[in-house]
Structure 1
Amino acid sequence: MNHALDNSLEVPPSVAMSDVVVLGPGTFDHPQPGEFLKKNHPVAAPVARESINARLEIMKYQVSLPDYEHCVADGACKPADPRRIGNVPVTGVSHIDAEAYATWLSARTGETWRLPTDVEWAYAAGERFRGDVESDESDPNNPALRWLAQYRTETALGRKPDPEPRVQGDFGINSKGVADVAGNIWEWTSTCYIHATMASDGAGIASSIDNCGVHVVEGFHRTYMSNFIRDGKRGGCAVGTPPDNLGFRLVRDRPSLVQATLRRLGLS
């Protein structure tokens, strides 16, 4: 989905459909993102029945470095860090960078592009989705026990360090036709991190606080990063081993029939 930036060249009206996977509506069970406490002890995330009620259009591949560099050349995006070459996913980008690219792409194509929610990403990931690294150990007087247990759990998953981005498609395609899911690129979402307290009787969440300075990132497993972080190995809010790389893919929102009609009439 390369976009010409020279004013003498025609800007493509949309991203090629071959670069977008269209998924129909569906329902699935999904562990909720965030931190959950019950009686001041950390507990596993509750599982909710989630629904995708309309078709979901999501990029088949993560945004590539060449595509991102068009945004940089247009002055709408900051250069990625570190700089790499070739047809690989862009990495070294923060949540802020990803939002800037989505805004730029929307303006250039006349369409609406945005980061997926945690639920949308999990739906598109299908069998490759893996939730948070959890641990059953909990000692309020010694939280290090839980952290160590989480590291042991993640180690048991068999993840190996893999810092260099690979060419698009190298991690294969999942059952839904989406490429490179849960490879060595963790992907930003639009879902904020929450700190929630479970009801004492176990019947749902009693209260929660959103922290939108931290967002959910999805990859080999789900974790959380501060919005300004471009390299997970340098810090942030990740649990366990930091992400190898931070990148993203976008979803496209289609206007409703009413919205499309108003747009054609110049009324929106």
Structure 2
Amino acid sequence: MPTTKKTAVSLLSLAAPVVLLAAIGGVLSAKVGLFDDLKDGIDPSIRPPVTVTIAPRQMSYRAEGHFLKNGFAVDAPIVVAAIKQPLEIMKYQVTRDDYERCVADGGCQQPEGGHGAGLSGVPMTGVNYTDATDYAAWLTKKTGEVWRLPTDQQWAFAAGSKFPDDALGIDGTKDNPALRWLADYERESSRQRAKNPRPLPTGAFGENEYGVADLDGNVWEWTETCHRRVTIGDDGEVLKEAPACGIFVVNGKHRASMSFFIRDPKSGGCAVGVPPDNLGFRLVRDGRWYSGYLYAFERRLHGAG
């Protein structure tokens, strides 16, 4: 019995500060109007997107980044991640129709061009990172739910068996540094841009095992993960990591890294490899209990209304 009582007291001592902080946060939020963005702009005519919820699991995938060992490029390591919370992600990419509602409402800019211009029922393309995050902010305001770009890890989690493995299987060495360069050249030569890059109607490329559609079509998707350059030791330990947060990971048939302002991949800005055919996006719904606090603080921090 003493043990049970001690455990109960211990749990109470942990829970009390959390409840107190939440209460204080709620009062302060109300005082300064912290949640105005999530309350004032709700529009019942804007329906939340169709989503898929994927149950937590452990997964392994190839890490993102440009990895170096002893000064030579090497394959990124396979990492294991335990995803502890369900992930709710849009089943389809944001469509041109949905994006143009944001434009009409003044929440998004209208990009010029894009292979799907003038088409209905197709993914929105020709958008840069800022366009995608502007749409996420607009959808958050209209629905009262927090929407964000996925991280690279979340995208890999949702992609499942359709997540691409870009390993070459050949690491650069001082004995023959040209081997990896040649393998990389051969791989990129085989990745030809589509003869007809025009986006197809949503669902045209099928679904994966979780019901997420069009993951390996001709539209690459922005994530909120910064590209990075990582130096590792002989045992794989990270010796140095240098994020490049003006460049973000985009995922599709293969990974690419694009400068945040790029809308048309063929115009440049691709850090490595053959550029994507199109740039689009899908969002995840942030269902964490404190997501509203976090979103509101981020908006205030960046001076956004």
> What's the TM-score bracket when you normalise by the shorter of the two chains?
0.7 to 0.9
Give the match's secondary structure for 2:53. Answer: strand
Report whether the alignment pairs 1:39 with 2:70.
Answer: yes
1:75 to 92, 106, 123: 106
1:151–1:241 CA contact under 8 A, matched in 2: no
Q: Which runs of 4+ in 1 moved over 6 A?
A: 142-145
Report whether the alignment pairs 1:120 with 2:154.
Answer: yes
Aligned positions of 1:18-29 closer than 5 A: 19-29=50-60
2:216 to 176, 182, 196: 182
Partner Cα separation in structure 1 for residue 194 and residue 181 of structure 2: 19
Distance verdict in 2 for CA 1:259–1:100, change over 3 Å: closer
**1:84-130 deviations in Å (ceiling 9; x for gaps):** 32110000000111011111110111100000011110111111110
Structure 2: unaligned runs, 5 residues or longer:
1-41, 293-305
Distance verdict in 2 for CA 1:228–1:148, change over 3 Å: farther
Residue 155 of structure 1 deviates from its aligned partner by: 4.3
Residue 255 of structure 1 deviates from its aligned partner by: 3.6
1:133–1:153 CA contact under 8 A, matched in 2: no
Structure 1: unaligned runs, 5 residues or longer:
1-8, 261-268
2:205 to 156, 171, 183: 171
Q: Which residue of 2 aligns with 1:206?
A: 239
**1:159-215 deviations in Å (ceiling 9; x for gaps):** 74441000010001111100101110000001100111002x323211101111001
Q: Which residue of 2 aligns with 1:249?
A: 282
Residue 259 of structure 1 deviates from its aligned partner by: 7.5
Distance verdict in 2 for CA 1:144–1:230, change over 3 Å: farther
Question: What amino acid sits opposite 1:88 in the alignment?
Answer: V
Q: TM-score, normalised by structure 1?
A: 0.84
Question: What amino acid sits opposite 2:79 in the alignment?
Answer: A
1:137–1:149 CA contact under 8 A, matched in 2: no
Q: TM-score, normalised by structure 2?
A: 0.74
Larger Rg: 2
Q: RMSD of the alignment, in Å? A: 2.6
1:62–1:249 CA contact under 8 A, matched in 2: yes
Report whether the alignment pairs 1:220 with 2:256.
Answer: no
Q: Which residue of 2 aligns with 1:129?
A: 163
Question: What amino acid sits opposite 2:92 in the alignment?
Answer: Y
Residue 131 of structure 1 deviates from its aligned partner by: 3.2
Task: Count the aligned residue pairs.
Answer: 248
Distance verdict in 2 for CA 1:96–1:145, change over 3 Å: farther
